[in-house]
Amino acid sequence: MIKISATQLESYRRFIDGLITVEQFERSLLRLDPPNAMMQRGTDFHTMMQTDNPELFKGVFSENCITQARSKMDYRSKIFECRAKKIYKTKYGDILVSGMADQLLGYDIVEIKTRYSPINYDSYAQSMQWRVYCELFEAKYATYKVFEFKDANSVDFKNYAEYTFAKPLYNESIVFDMIHYLHEYIIIRGLSDKPVLQTKDSRRVANE
């Protein structure tokens, strides 16, 4: 069975909206690029925001960064890095869609984002990621907490924005259509046998 993630669906949305090239999209789809310094910085920041021991990150981030960034969080919920999966049926067969939410807070999905360019509302409002998460986690809302850093070496963020989006009534249809079209793209491009797009069961059967 083919598997895709909410992140890959968002990458596909950016491709069909003309924000990235086909080469950039397929490299993202097939996970060909190793983590870069900005991605690693984002991982460190996520860990700092979710840990019970933020003091371990002194020196990695400034004390002001740690204090101010964590003040944006609601720690009444410690449900972090939560995974969800759902099988959808398109005319091309079954496809497994997965996602990992940074935090579950009641009916709200909370996503922590780091970026190194000016914060842009539209890039989050138009994102497919939160729409997919609303379906996978049966959430009513999705909140982005966005921290802008100057570069990957910065020890403090310079701007912050927070956006909350309510699940629209037609969300299920929007998400299914995007899943269907990405499934179709994978089939037409002959990418369905790529290991990164196959579930473990599919890979095991192919190797028998």
Indicate the pTM of the whole model.
0.92
Q: What are phi and psi of 136, to 5 degrees?
A: -65, -40
Q: What percent of the chain has pLDDT over 90?
A: 95
Domains and CATH numbers, the chain: 2-207 (3.90.320)
Mean pLDDT within 107-112: 97
- Cα separation of 146 and 164, whole Å? 11
Q: Mutual orientation of helices 6-16 and 171-188 as an angle, nearest 10°?
A: 80
Provide the H-helix boundaries in the chain: 6-16, 22-29, 37-50, 63-70, 121-125, 129-136, 171-188, 200-207
- Cα separation of 132 and 139, whole Å? 10
pLDDT tens readout for residues 149-202: 999 999 999 999 999 999 999 999 999 999 999 999 999 999 999 999 999 765
Mean pLDDT within 99-119: 97
Q: Which residues, listed in sequence order, are joined to residue 101 by a DSSP beta bridge?
A: 82
Q: What percent of the chain has pLDDT over 70?
A: 96
Average pLDDT of the residues of the chain = 95
pLDDT at 15 over 90: yes
pLDDT tens readout for residues 64-95: 999 999 999 999 999 999 999 999 999 999 99
